[in-house]
């Protein structure tokens, strides 16, 4: 901080006609005045301590669905409509409701038929895997493409059989 002093002749020359403050301001001269340099205004940035990061590794294991060891065939054939005429009639008369029923009975999301184009292929593959039925995804896709209603009837009969026997 700068300090100011009055010269001795300035101290005696004060009169009452001129206000003291204006006379003082007019005669004040800085002592020990040093012009400021740019370094006085610039402060280098402070070096902060670098943050430390902890890397945590999370291992997620996905539980697999239980698989049936034995491998078997479907309980009814693809064209076994006379094994359960009620299911065949239900699929032919009200396909949407029959689709909803089989999806609900397998525990899948009821919106599956609306959201997935080849939903029946996916559902057949899931049920086939859960129940240990022989076959492949290619076979499921082919059956779904060529005989869609018959594939739905076969799947409904299989799910009904599995529910009656406690397999689902």
Domain range enclosing 10:
1-30
| H helical segments located in the chain | 8-12, 20-27, 38-41, 85-93, 95-106, 112-115, 119-131, 137-146, 148-164
Tell me, what's the pLDDT at 34? 61
Q: How many domains does the chain have?
A: 2
> Mean pLDDT score of the chain, rounded to an integer?
78
- pLDDT confidence bin for 62, thresholds 50/70/90: low
> For the packed helices 95-106 and 119-131, what is the interaxial angle rounded to 10 degrees?
40
99 domain-assigned: yes
Q: Which residue has the tokens 């996916």?
A: 122
Residue whose C-alpha is closest to residue 135's, from 158, 108, 161: 158
Instruction: Note the pLDDT tens digit of each residue in 120-162.
Output: 999 999 999 999 999 999 999 999 999 999 999 999 999 999 9
47 domain-assigned: no
126 domain-assigned: yes
Highest mean pLDDT of the ranges 20-34, 43-57, 102-116, 151-165: 151-165
Q: Which residue has the tokens 């049936």?
A: 68
Instruction: Note the pLDDT tens digit of each residue in 26-40.
Output: 565 555 656 566 666
Q: Are residues 89 and 16 in the same domain?
A: no
Q: Are residues 87 and 153 in the same domain?
A: yes
130 domain-assigned: yes
- pLDDT confidence bin for 67, thresholds 50/70/90: low
- pLDDT confidence bin for 57, thresholds 50/70/90: confident
20 domain-assigned: yes
8 domain-assigned: yes
pTM of the model: 0.57
User: Does the pLDDT value for residue 51 go beyond 90?
Assistant: no
């Amino acid at each position: 901080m700068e300090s100011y002093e009055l010269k001795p002749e300035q101290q005696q020359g004060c009169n009452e006609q001129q206000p003291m403050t204006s006379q003082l301001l007019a005669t004040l001269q800085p002592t020990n005045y040093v012009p400021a340099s740019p370094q006085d205004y610039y402060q280098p940035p402070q070096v902060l301590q670098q943050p430390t990061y902890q890397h945590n590794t999370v291992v997620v294991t996905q539980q697999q669905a239980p698989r049936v060891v034995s491998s078997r065939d479907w309980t009814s054939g693809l064209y076994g409509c006379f094994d359960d005429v009620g299911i065949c009639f239900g699929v032919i008369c009200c396909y949407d409701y029959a689709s909803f029923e089989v999806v609900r009975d397998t525990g899948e999301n009821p919106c599956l038929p609306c959201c997935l184009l080849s939903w029946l292929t996916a559902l057949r593959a899931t049920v086939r895997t859960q129940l240990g039925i022989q076959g492949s995804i290619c076979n499921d896709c082919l059956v779904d493409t060529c005989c869609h209603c018959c594939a739905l009837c076969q799947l409904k009969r299989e799910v009904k059989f599995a529910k009656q026997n406690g397999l689902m």
